[in-house]
Chain A
Amino acid sequence: MIKVKNQKAIRNLADKSFRANKARNLIAIMAIALTALLFTTIFTMGIGTVEGIQQASMRQAGGDGHAILKYITDEEFNNVKDHPLIKEIAYNRMLSDGVENEEFLKRRAEFWYYDDVGLKLGFSEPTSGHKPVAENEVIADTKTLQVLGIPLEVGAPLTLTLEIRGVEVRREFILAGWWESDPVFNVGKIIASRTYVDAHLDELQNTYKVDNSFTGATVAYIMFENSSNLEGKLEKVITDSGYSLDENTPNYLEHNVNWSYLSTNFGMDAGTLIALLSGLLLIVLTGYLIIYNIFQISVIRDIRFYGLLKTIGTTGTQIRRIIRRQALILSAIGIPIGLIIGFFIGKALVPFLMNNTNYAGSMVSVSPSPLIFAGAALFAVITVLISTFKPGRIAAAVSPVEAVRYTGGDSKQNRKLKKSTAGGKMPRMALANLGRNKIRTVLVVISMSLSLVLFNTVFTLSRSFDMDKFLSKFVDTDFLIAHAEYFQYNFFGPENQTTESFIQAVEAQPGFEEGGRLYGGREEQFATEDENNTTKQYNRNSNGDLMAMVYGLEDLPLHRLELIDGELNYAKLATGKYILEGVQLDDNSVPEMDTAHFDVGETVMLHNYKGTSDTFADREYTTQEYTVLGHVAIKYYANSDRNRWDYNFYLPADIYKTMVMQPAVMSYAFNVSDDQEATMERFLQSYTDSMEPVMNYTSKLTSLKEYSGMQRTVVMIGGALSFIIGLIGILNFVNAILTSILTRRQEFAMLQSIGMTRKQLRRMLMFEGFYYTLATCALSLVFGTVFSLLIVKSFCGLLWFVSYHFILWPLLIVLPFLIVLGVLIPLLSYAMTDKQSIVERLREAE
């Protein structure tokens, strides 16, 4: 009985005293909300990015599905489809080996039949129009239609040139519906109706195992109940249905599991993981700092109240329960607010994170997973509980009598003696006042410094982004033009070389400064001899010589070669007796010298089939001797065919042309005057869209866009974080000042009564604020410098496009503002509290 009444009394006490403390409640709710907000934002960003990557990689792969069976027959499909483990299965049938419309050169398209499940899993359900029904109805994605020049209207006619087992067939269709293309999935899809399938059963016989033809082969996407043990389930489905997992047996079913599901336990790379963990820790720390501070100050302010409670018989445990209850009520209000706002902020920031992955540009929808909210709420509550632990203990341990005499936060003055005489001067008093509660002072200073250091770090990182380093990996000159297939890593030789007409057109443009051709092509089948290489079996020609990639560079690209060792003597090169060997670069643009096979000065034997005949057997197998003049860097995106070869050589174009009768222009690099760059970009865009659609280009501008996108991400996210933490720091500061003034209300009244003028009092408070901010400045400068030099620097070392730059100016800029703030806030706080007369304030003691 007593216990029950007891509980109720405690609760009543807690609630009533809670309501009496409006200012503290407001600040506490804000702090708790901010903490919950931070947690939610991080979790949302984390889970959202994971989801986004998963979604995007699925879309990149072309469809959702736990597992896939490839190129099976109708009979195999029917035997498998009813297996109990399968939740749903899609029937997707390839209707041709390829779609040969010229417009699809740059962006391949495929011709399929998808059943309803297939349409759903393949993200291909039409959003306008309807699913194809009649034999000649098809649906397609918008980009495909755009490329074909078909208007988005139901009933629009379109013709497809299909390749079926080596034979080209033209068929007429009409558009029945369409859906928005996914920027991440770069293959066009044209889907026909079941009626079409049934009308062409003959040609759609599955002959994959015989002639590797795709026409008529069925691909089945399978969804299980859940994504656990996908490998096991798939294998069971296959074997249960009577088929084999062994590819050497006749009843083998080609299969695999969707790797994007497997990668949920991901190897997030070390950098992201560390960032995430330290982010979490940082938030816990910051949240702890401020919430602890608030409650400690609040307890100290109400220490008389708790002393009173003790006097009338409340035990320590009960007092702790009161405080805990108040903390939980505040959390119940603050956390939901933080959760909601944090979710939206995180959601807004996810696209920025995604931009840095390979899935940039895809629409990401972050679903409000309960995991996010549960996790963030849990962390927030834990932080609140930890923060109120110590203050609770203080309140519980108070001795009733002491509380009545309490003057404000320093009952545990360990100091006994103070050997000074000038302590009455305002600055000295201010300093001494800060010493009243050293822990509180330190916490506030740390909290503010933290945000300043973070602020500086964000700018350091942003400033350290090395644009030149970044660009130099991707572009060497302002522009690079080539056949579209070059950019798809499929440059062979004369059949997909850069056209002279394109080069002429470019040279005629205003602003054109200089340009040069890069000749090359694997079709030339250059070969070399290397006595040191006895183990390599493949890529040897019939003479046993090793396949080599040789490039012929005109002046501009030749002069842009980066020398690693040896010499870059153009006169010597022009003699035709010398050659340069290409060396691969690693991710940090450091040459991997073990990819060089020859030393400088060594002789290289180059062979090729010189001639113009289509049959290489009719050509002359030549031998040419060169001396290696030096090693140069192979710039993957600028002076290679974008494939990695074992042996790589560079020759001046003229010398190259002595060995190759029909030299193929791999690409054409050129520079343009600065003011005409944008114009050239537009020209290239329209030229490659309409004039010569098989041509394509890359430019510095597009790489720049990618670069500044990344930079922006860092600044945005880092800026947002430091802003929030800065807010918390200031809140902390305001709270500390406000409370210290409030607790000393009586003392101030006393001081005024013995003759301290308001002005003097204000001066003392200004000094106190000033010391706080001075300490913050000092700490953030020291800690910021150390942090930058140690941690940020090594972090920069991890990223290849970042060269660490030490900067401190963001800190230095903010400091004056901080100091002003430090002086203003006490003044304002005092003004707010100075409304009562001295007597009234003195009276409060009695």
Chain B
Amino acid sequence: MTILETTNLKKYYGSGDTTVKALDGVDLIVENGEFVAIVGTSGSGKSTLLHMLGGLDRPSSGTVTVDGKEIFLLKDEELTIFRRRKIGFVFQNYNLVPVLNVYENIVLPIQLDGNEPDTEYLNQIIRTLGLESKVHNLPNNLSGGQQQRVAIARALSAKPAIILADEPTGNLDSKTSQDVLGLLKVTSEKFSQTIVMITHNEEIAQLADRIIHLEDGKIVGGEGQ
């Protein structure tokens, strides 16, 4: 089942001579449960693409459909709520809320929705990510790797349609990177989660099921469809 689809996605900045074509017509399909890596050098437009996929930014033209819904037809407020329920983000610099502890950070999207967390499921995630002993810790008391794991747990907690990860191991050492990536893959399989990950590192990309190459705003290699 197609969980994510883009059609002729374009994002242009500026006009005339100074037009920057960040995305220049991207067609993409991701199936449910896939682990996709989008690879490209800096300036290739991969971050822009990810932001489009997550509805964080509006395209100049084209559509993005997540779980059957064309997200850019939604208004801002609706989009945010949609994002809360359907999309999980993992950022390069973790972006945890410093005043909340690990547990609270993880359940934040759920609480924002006003729902009660599925404790069974949560415990599973926490155990899988090895965070049982850290639930009450504040982010400033965690290592980078631990913080990233919390971020992943947060992304997973609301059982979103897809998880978008922007250079998740960018700030981690090689050993920790391996661990985190391993976890990403494990959770992807275990919880049947779709993951789209951006990286500039070909090696890391190898862990994914599929690799898409992006250059100058266009897909140039890998299987886009």
Contact = CB atoms under 8 A, between A and B. Distances in A.
Q: Is the interface of A mostly helix, strand, loop or mixed?
A: loop
A757 B83 CA distance: 10
A436 interface: yes
A757 B58 CA distance: 17
A845 B83 CA distance: 21
A419 B138 CA distance: 10
Contact of A754 (B77, B101, B109, B136): B109
B81 to A, nearest CB: 6
A268 interface: no
Given A424-B112, A755-B84, A435 B103 contact: no
Chain A CB within 10 A, most for which of B51, B56, B141: B56
Contact of A424 (B57, B89, B107): B107
A309 to B, nearest CB: 21
A759 B112 CA distance: 11
A535 interface: no
Contacts of B97: 429, 747, 751
A416 B76 CA distance: 36
Interface string A425-458: 1000100110110000000000000000000000
A407 interface: yes
A752 B138 contact: no
Contact of B83 (A433, A436, A754): A754
Contact of A413 (B89, B107, B138): B138
B85 interface: yes
Contacts of A756: 80, 84, 112
Nearest to B108: A424
Interface in A398-423: 405, 407-408, 410-411, 413, 415-423
A410 B138 CA distance: 12
A364 interface: no
A754 B56 contact: no
A754 B84 contact: yes
Contact of B112 (A432, A747, A755): A755
Contacts of B101: 417-420, 423
Contact of B100 (A423, A760, A839): A423
A435 B99 contact: yes
Interface residues of A, number: 40
Nearest to A747: B97
Given A753-B83, A754-B89, A839-B51, A429 B138 contact: no
Contacts of A846: 92
A225 B97 CA distance: 73
B206 interface: no
B145 interface: no
Contacts of A424: 100, 104, 107-108, 110-112
B137 A417 contact: yes
B176 to A, nearest CB: 16
A368 B77 CA distance: 61
A755 B80 contact: yes
Interface string B44-73: 000000010010111000000000000000
Contacts of A760: 112
Contact of A432 (B93, B100, B103, B136): B100
Contacts of B113: 755
Contacts of B54: 753
B83 A755 contact: yes
A750 interface: yes
Interface in A329-346: none
Nearest to B164: A753
A839 B84 CA distance: 16
Contacts of B88: 754
Contacts of B77: 757-759
Contacts of B109: 754-755
A836 to B, nearest CB: 11
A838 interface: yes
Contacts of B95: 747, 750
B62 to A, nearest CB: 16
A742 interface: no
B121 to A, nearest CB: 15
A420 to B, nearest CB: 7
Given A416-B141, A754-B109, A837-B57, A410 B98 contact: yes
Interface in A782-840: 837-839
A219 B109 CA distance: 94
B115 to A, nearest CB: 11
A563 interface: no
Nearest to A435: B99
B91 A750 contact: yes
Nearest to B142: A416
A18 B88 CA distance: 40
A754 B82 CA distance: 10
B93 A757 contact: no
Contacts of A419: 101, 136
A429 B111 CA distance: 12
Contacts of A415: 138
B124 interface: no
B218 interface: no
A394 interface: no
B140 interface: yes
Contacts of B10: none
Interface string A3-37: 00000000000000000000000000000000000
Nearest to A755: B84
A842 interface: yes
Contact of B98 (A407, A753, A838, A839): A407
B136 A417 contact: yes
A755 B107 contact: no
B112 A423 contact: no
Nearest to B99: A432
Contacts of A436: 98-99
A417 B99 CA distance: 10
A838 B104 CA distance: 23
B104 A421 contact: yes
Nearest to B58: A837
B154 interface: yes
B99 A433 contact: yes
Contacts of A845: 93
B213 to A, nearest CB: 22
A408 B99 CA distance: 11
Interface string B124-142: 0000000000001110110
A840 to B, nearest CB: 9
A307 to B, nearest CB: 15
B138 A838 contact: no
B138 A753 contact: no
B110 to A, nearest CB: 8
Interface in A376-404: none
A755 B76 CA distance: 11
Contact of A429 (B56, B91, B99): B99
Nearest to B104: A423
B216 to A, nearest CB: 20
Chain B CB within 10 A, most for which of A413, A423, A845: A423
B137 to A, nearest CB: 6
B111 A842 contact: no
Given A405-B93, A423-B99, A429-B99, A752 B80 contact: yes
A411 B138 CA distance: 12
Contacts of A758: 76-77, 80
Contact of B108 (A410, A420, A754): A754
B84 to A, nearest CB: 2
Contacts of B93: 405, 845
Given A410-B98, A417-B137, A423-B104, A839 B57 contact: yes
5 closest cross-chain pairs (CB), A and B: A755-B84, A424-B111, A432-B99, A423-B104, A418-B101
Given A421-B103, A436-B99, 12 more contacts: A416-B137, A417-B137, A418-B138, A424-B107, A424-B112, A429-B97, A433-B99, A754-B112, A755-B85, A755-B112, A756-B112, A758-B80
8 contacts: A413-B98, A417-B141, A419-B101, A433-B99, A756-B112, A757-B80, A757-B112, A842-B91
